[in-house]
């Protein structure tokens, strides 16, 4: 394990008055609970706001309401501007409160954005207080701890080590990328002056598989806010408390894993709160806890070695785009390419390990 990047070493004003471990854990708990709690508060508010609309839609349907009444209660699909008039009555459409309901997506993105801003402000206030800085003076050391360095252009000799952390995740997922190619499911790109860059992909949910609300959540807002809170903010308070490199790498990502445990409750309630739903919820939560923690180890180490949250953010977004594609599934779909598939998965893992050691 390599040493901590020098830019993350707290300046003398902060090093002379370190944060206590208890305070660091308390702040970590507040950042985590604030982020997860904002999701449920926003979900409750969104569901409450949609309840009258849903009731009115059902009433209009049962009394033979006019087309005008129906269209005044739109439920846009995740990535479209318009929706069918009976969307509230369509059992296949995301219902109010569902994580894929447009109102829920919008409210959750706003909520986690606010929670993230408050967490960043909490780090700034902590730096300002223990370092005795002025309000403006505290900004620069805060940005350094958060892994948000001021823009700079690396020299040609430093370019390989600068690019390396950004290619580790794509290298690791070389096998899934090849399997996606065999499926014929790689994205297509087009550009026009009028419409700009267009990305078409079957796994996107927008009109004609374009970009929509779900993509903004999964590939932009989600990775951005999660990395700023669970990487930048949590590691900042760990650095201020002089936590060891090993503990920061392997312990702090557990907050990131635990923060995803709330999906178990969603699975349980959506499954009817039955015993089978509870089993699915626990199994899914354990699986998610495992891979989010594993990713957290990698992202945290990348952050500590590069003094930047940007490689972790890029890796997070890329992993969300690719998803989980197991080699045995790919081999079953393409039995004629079985050996090559396993070879590409192995090559990706080997490249990732080699690159990580050079980081």
pLDDT of residue 333: 94
The fraction of the chain above a pLDDT of 70, given in percent, is 78
State the pTM of this model.
0.81
Backbone torsions φ then ψ of 286, nearest 5 degrees: -65, -40
pLDDT at 334 exceeding the cut of 90: yes
Domain layout of the chain by residue ranges: 6-358
| pLDDT computed for residue 42 by the predictor | 83
| pLDDT score of 162 | 86
Nearest of 5, 15, 34 to residue 225 by alpha carbon? 34
C-alpha triplet 344, 346, 348: angle, nearest 5°: 70
CB 266 within 8 A of CB 278: no
Q: How many other CB atoms are there within 10 angstroms of residue 325's CB atom?
A: 17
Q: What tokens does 177 get?
A: 């990328």
Q: Which pLDDT band, with edges at 50, 70 and 90, does 208 fall under?
A: low
The predicted pLDDT at position 66 comes to 42
Cβ atoms of residues 352 and 165 within 8 Å: no
CB 14 within 8 A of CB 127: yes
- DSSP 3-state assignment of 271? coil
What local confidence, expressed as pLDDT, does residue 68 receive? 41
| Mean pLDDT across the chain | 82
Phi, psi for residue 212 in degrees, rounded to 5: -145, -160
Q: What is the mean pLDDT of residues 121-130?
A: 96
Helix (H, G, I), strand (E, B) or coil at 204: coil
Which positions ≥6 away from 3 have C-beta within 8 Å? 245
With contact defined as beta carbons under 8 Å apart, do 83 and 89 qualify?
Answer: no
- CA 191 from chain center: how many Å? 27
> H or E segment at 189?
strand 188-192
Average pLDDT score over residue span 214-232: 94
Lowest mean pLDDT among 55-69, 107-121, 132-146, 234-248: 55-69
Sign of CA dihedral 110, 116, 301, 2: positive
- Which of 139-153, 229-243, 282-296 is predicted most confidently? 229-243
Give the pLDDT confidence score for residue 263 in this predicted structure: 72
Q: How far apart are CA 247 and CA 33, in angstroms?
A: 21
CA gap 249, 269 in Å, rounded: 34
**pLDDT score recorded for residue 69:** 41
Quote the pLDDT of residue 65: 47
Q: Is the distance from CB of 117 to CB of 232 less than 8 angstroms?
A: no
Per-residue pLDDT tens for 33-63? Answer: 999 999 888 877 766 655 555 555 445 444 4
Between 43 and 12, the higher pLDDT residue: 12
Return phi, psi of residue 201, to 5°. -155, 135
| CB 246 within 8 Å of CB 232 | no
pLDDT band at 189 (very low <50, low <70, confident <90, very high): low
Cβ(49)–Cβ(184) under 8 Å?
no
């Amino acid at each position: 394990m390599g040493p901590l990047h020098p830019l993350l070493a707290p300046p003398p004003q902060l090093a002379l008055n370190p944060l206590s471990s208890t305070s660091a854990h308390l702040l970590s708990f507040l950042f985590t609970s604030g982020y997860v709690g904002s999701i449920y508060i926003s979900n409750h508010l969104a569901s409450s706001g949609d309840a009258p609309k849903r009731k009115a839609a059902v009433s209009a349907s049962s009394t033979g309401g006019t087309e005008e009444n129906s269209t005044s209660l739109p439920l846009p699909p995740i990535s479209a501007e318009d929706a069918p008039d009976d969307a509230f009555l369509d059992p296949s459409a995301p219902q109010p409160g569902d994580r894929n309901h447009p109102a829920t997506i919008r409210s959750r993105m706003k909520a986690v954005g606010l929670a993230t801003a408050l967490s960043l402000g909490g780090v700034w206030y902590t730096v300002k207080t223990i370092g005795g800085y002025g309000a403006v003076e505290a900004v620069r050391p805060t940005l350094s701890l958060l892994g948000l360095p001021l823009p700079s252009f690396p020299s040609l000799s430093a370019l390989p080590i600068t690019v390396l952390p950004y290619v580790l995740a794509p290298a690791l997922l070389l096998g899934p990328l090849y399997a996606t190619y065999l499926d014929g499911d790689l994205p297509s790109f087009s550009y026009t002056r009028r419409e700009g860059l267009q990305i078409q992909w079957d796994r996107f949910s927008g009109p004609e598989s374009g970009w929509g609300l779900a993509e903004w959540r999964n590939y932009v807002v989600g990775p951005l806010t999660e990395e700023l809170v669970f990487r930048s903010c949590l590691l900042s308070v760990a650095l201020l408390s002089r936590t060891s490199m090993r503990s920061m790498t392997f312990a702090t990502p557990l907050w990131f894993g635990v923060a995803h445990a709330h999906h178990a409750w969603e699975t349980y309630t959506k499954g009817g709160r039955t015993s089978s739903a509870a089993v699915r919820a626990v199994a899914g939560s354990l699986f998610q806890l495992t891979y989010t923690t594993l990713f957290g180890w990698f992202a945290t180490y990348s952050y500590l070695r590069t003094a930047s949250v940007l490689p972790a953010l890029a890796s997070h977004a890329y992993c969300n785009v690719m998803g989980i594609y197991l080699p045995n599934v790919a081999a079953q779909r393409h039995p004629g390419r079985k050996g090559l598939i396993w070879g590409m998965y192995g090559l990706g893992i080997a490249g990732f390990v080699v690159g990580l050691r050079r980081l």
